[in-house]
Amino acid sequence: MNDTEFANWMKRMDAPSATPLPDADAIWWRAQLRRSLAAEERATRPIRLVEQLACAVFLLAAVVLAAVR
Protein backbone atom coordinates (compact mmCIF):
# COMPACT_ATOMS: atom_id res chain seq x y z
CA MET A 1 0.00 0.00 0.00
CA ASN A 2 1.51 3.30 -1.06
CA ASP A 3 0.91 6.74 0.44
CA THR A 4 -1.87 7.63 -2.00
CA GLU A 5 -3.78 4.42 -1.32
CA PHE A 6 -3.31 4.94 2.40
CA ALA A 7 -4.58 8.51 2.21
CA ASN A 8 -7.64 7.37 0.24
CA TRP A 9 -8.28 4.63 2.77
CA MET A 10 -8.05 7.13 5.62
CA LYS A 11 -10.54 9.42 3.86
CA ARG A 12 -12.97 6.53 3.43
CA MET A 13 -12.61 5.62 7.10
CA ASP A 14 -13.20 9.26 8.11
CA ALA A 15 -16.33 9.63 5.98
CA PRO A 16 -19.63 9.38 7.86
CA SER A 17 -21.25 6.00 7.55
CA ALA A 18 -24.46 5.55 5.61
CA THR A 19 -26.20 3.89 8.55
CA PRO A 20 -26.62 5.95 11.71
CA LEU A 21 -25.80 4.46 15.08
CA PRO A 22 -28.77 2.99 16.97
CA ASP A 23 -30.39 4.96 19.74
CA ALA A 24 -29.00 4.35 23.23
CA ASP A 25 -32.50 3.52 24.49
CA ALA A 26 -32.84 0.84 21.80
CA ILE A 27 -29.50 -0.68 22.80
CA TRP A 28 -30.54 -0.69 26.46
CA TRP A 29 -33.95 -2.22 25.63
CA ARG A 30 -32.32 -5.02 23.60
CA ALA A 31 -29.86 -5.73 26.40
CA GLN A 32 -32.71 -5.97 28.91
CA LEU A 33 -34.67 -8.24 26.58
CA ARG A 34 -31.66 -10.53 26.11
CA ARG A 35 -31.07 -10.63 29.85
CA SER A 36 -34.69 -11.56 30.59
CA LEU A 37 -34.72 -14.22 27.84
CA ALA A 38 -31.51 -15.72 29.21
CA ALA A 39 -32.98 -15.78 32.72
CA GLU A 40 -36.15 -17.44 31.40
CA GLU A 41 -34.06 -20.05 29.56
CA ARG A 42 -32.07 -20.83 32.71
CA ALA A 43 -35.25 -21.10 34.79
CA THR A 44 -37.06 -23.43 32.39
CA ARG A 45 -34.09 -25.69 31.55
CA PRO A 46 -34.88 -28.24 34.33
CA ILE A 47 -38.52 -28.39 33.25
CA ARG A 48 -37.54 -29.08 29.64
CA LEU A 49 -35.09 -31.78 30.73
CA VAL A 50 -37.74 -33.55 32.83
CA GLU A 51 -40.24 -33.32 29.96
CA GLN A 52 -37.72 -34.95 27.61
CA LEU A 53 -36.96 -37.65 30.16
CA ALA A 54 -40.69 -38.32 30.64
CA CYS A 55 -41.19 -38.63 26.88
CA ALA A 56 -38.31 -41.10 26.67
CA VAL A 57 -39.69 -43.16 29.57
CA PHE A 58 -43.21 -43.24 28.11
CA LEU A 59 -41.86 -44.20 24.69
CA LEU A 60 -39.81 -47.00 26.22
CA ALA A 61 -42.83 -48.17 28.20
CA ALA A 62 -44.98 -48.17 25.06
CA VAL A 63 -42.38 -50.24 23.20
CA VAL A 64 -42.10 -52.70 26.08
CA LEU A 65 -45.90 -53.03 26.39
CA ALA A 66 -46.26 -53.50 22.65
CA ALA A 67 -43.59 -56.20 22.70
CA VAL A 68 -45.21 -58.03 25.62
CA ARG A 69 -48.62 -58.27 23.97
pLDDT tens digits, one per residue of 43-69: 999 999 999 999 999 999 999 999 998
Q: In this model, does residue 33 exceed pLDDT 80? A: yes
What are residue 12's phi and psi, to 5 degrees? -65, -40
The mean pLDDT value for 9-17 works out to 79
The per-residue pLDDT of the chain, averaged, comes to 91
**CB-based contact 12:4 (threshold 8 Å):** no
Is 42 or 18 the better-scoring residue by pLDDT?
42
**CB-based contact 51:44 (threshold 8 Å):** no
Secondary structure of the chain as H, E, C letters: CCHHHHHHHHHHHHCCCCCCCCCHHHHHHHHHHHHHHHHHHHHHHHHHHHHHHHHHHHHHHHHHHHHHC
